[in-house]
Chains A and B, each alone.
Chain A
Amino acid sequence: MLEIRNLEHRFGALRAVHDVSMTVKQGELLGLIGPNGAGKSTLYNLIAGALKPMRGEIIFAGRNVTGWPAYRIARVGIARTFQIPKPYRQLSVIENVMVAALQREHSVARARTLAEATLADVGLSDHAGAPVGTLTVGLLKRLEVARALAMRPELLLFDEIMAGLMPTEVAVMTAFVAGLPARGITVIWVEHVLYAIMKTASRIMVLDRGELIADGPPSAVARDPAVVKAYLGEELSLA
């Protein structure tokens, strides 16, 4: 459903994303990992339209969406979360989700219903009326997920939704993400909490210095010498 061909993006002399080509199939849960500065967030920003690629093409559901602005990409069914949560500060939790829900549901009342269901889905119902300023980091990450889900997307881009979470929260969130493909949502997932992604993803891609260096099932990728080297010898734990 998503095909990326020879994608290229630079910041000055830095090749943030270099000649990346990849294909994501419907219903996949694709893990995208790599050391800090590997270009994961840049790749996300290119797919989501926050950045325009300097070269290459992005095909989504048969449509060439290369260079489209972010709001148009969002409307055709690609939703994203932000690594650093970006809530609407002066709105309540449910209103935050309603903005996203309003994209599909034009009536405010129906959007509220969809937002309520989405909050229940991610376990935020108790906080629906709260101002976002009162949420902990863990809850803000869940709010990011809720906003993305309320778009009723076909493809979800998760950017480090586990960072800063307690181990128990990680377990709950991992189970939640693992259940998304069964609901017809394709997921690309960037994560630094490797054990969560390694045991959940059906496929792992590894990005290093802007280039794809590995692609395959988690067990094979973890043993790949190039991947181990990219992480400076750090052992990938499958725990």
Chain B
Amino acid sequence: MSLASIRIAGLPNGFALMPRRGAVSLFEIGLLIACIALVGIPLPQNLRDVVVLTFLYAGLALAWNVAGGYAGLISFGHAAFFGIGAYTSTILLVHAGVSPWLGLWVGALASAAAGALLAVVCARLKGPFFILSTLAAAEVVRIGALNWASMTGGPEGLSILPVSSLANMVFTSKAAYAALMLGYLVICYAVTMALQCSRYGYFLLAVRDDEDAAKAAGVNPLLVRTGAMALSALLTGIGGTLFAQYFLYLDPTFVISPELSFQLALLPAVGGLGTAIGPVLGSFLITPLSELLRAYLGHAAAGLHLVIYSAVLIVVMLYFPSGLAGALARLAGGRKPKL
């Protein structure tokens, strides 16, 4: 008897133990409860940081996955959308006193517009050429942010006054930030679940798998891809604002760095592209690993944490080619996992 076939008495039909498309599973509910517990229980400060970042990166990975996993638009430039979201809300706050709760949406929309523009201009490029174009586009945004010093502070960055209040979206308690990031993660997850079972979601998968066949089925590839990139950028931009409110300092060399872009693409790849649970698992494995290794080994043996981190990545990619979500599906005895 496989795990997937186990049904718990009293649960509605189709309520599975393990994640599957179009239904909320016990696994997901259990994970959510564990996350809520992590927000609530007392933890040392450094572990709190890890929890906050893990939730934030899981949400960002889900956002990336909308374009990269479902639409096949592999982007190495998502840090640009993150940066546009972060800088828009922070500039509005610092220069005009606009609440981050409002700035968040302005940033998200600016980010979505940038995503749509990128897709309209570049989505006709195939494979590696598209990837390179996203990398280049993000560099344009980074250099723009560095040089537009009157607004962004340039290389000196931009600081948010740490006046804590709910209205300012600044908190003294890290638990509050953890709750905020968990909310973001849940929203990104819900969007992904809704996308998966929608008409538009099917069109995305079709365009990803075979553009000619999708066109013959009446699907306009450019429109579908543009929408996916805009939605992905919108969610990423929200994450940017949340990061700014947590870190209270922005600087282009981190916020719009290629390293961040790679990280955002890496988490879903490790977790499982084109699945809802994959990016979450990717972040839950990789983010704590990366943060804790740096914290505990960063001083003792400089560089060692990167060696271990890379070794884990290689092992995951070798033995779980369809990501952690694929491994989970195999464990659950479901059908052959999707790539």
Contacts and interface: CB of A to CB of B under 8 A. Distances in A.
B224 to A, nearest CB: 10
A99 B214 contact: yes
Given A129-B335, A151-B218, A87 B213 contact: yes
Nearest to B217: A100
Contact of A74 (B198, B217, B335): B217
Most chain B C-beta atoms within 10 Å of own C-beta, residue among A74, A75, A88? A88
A147 B209 contact: no
B296 to A, nearest CB: 39
Interface residues of B, number: 25
A50 B203 contact: no
A79 B209 contact: no
A80 B215 CA distance: 10
Given A71-B220, A99-B206, A82 B199 contact: no
A90 interface: yes
Interface residues of A, number: 34
A51 to B, nearest CB: 12
Nearest to A130: B335
Given A48-B216, A71-B220, A99-B219, A108 B209 contact: no
A90 B209 contact: yes
Interface string A103-121: 1001110010000000000
B339 interface: yes
Most chain B C-beta atoms within 10 Å of own C-beta, residue among A90, A95, A99? A99
Contacts of B221: 71
A131 B322 CA distance: 15
B218 A74 contact: yes
Contact of B205 (A48, A74, A88): A88
A111 B206 CA distance: 15
Contact of B209 (A49, A89, A100, A148): A89
Nearest to B201: A108
Contacts of B218: 71-72, 74-75, 100, 103, 151
B336 A99 contact: no
B197 interface: yes
A86 B208 CA distance: 12
B216 A70 contact: yes
B258 interface: no
Nearest to B339: A90
A87 B210 contact: yes
B338 interface: yes
Contact of B217 (A107, A131, A147): A147
A98 interface: yes
Given A90-B274, A90-B338, A95-B202, A103 B212 contact: no
A217 to B, nearest CB: 31
A91 B203 contact: no
Given A50-B215, A151-B218, A90 B205 contact: yes
Contact of A102 (B203, B210, B215, B274): B203
Given A88-B210, A90-B205, A70 B197 contact: no
10 contacts: A69-B220, A70-B216, A71-B221, A82-B212, A87-B210, A87-B213, A89-B209, A90-B209, A90-B274, A129-B335
Q: Which 3 A-B pairs have the closest CB atoms?
A: A88-B209, A74-B218, A70-B215
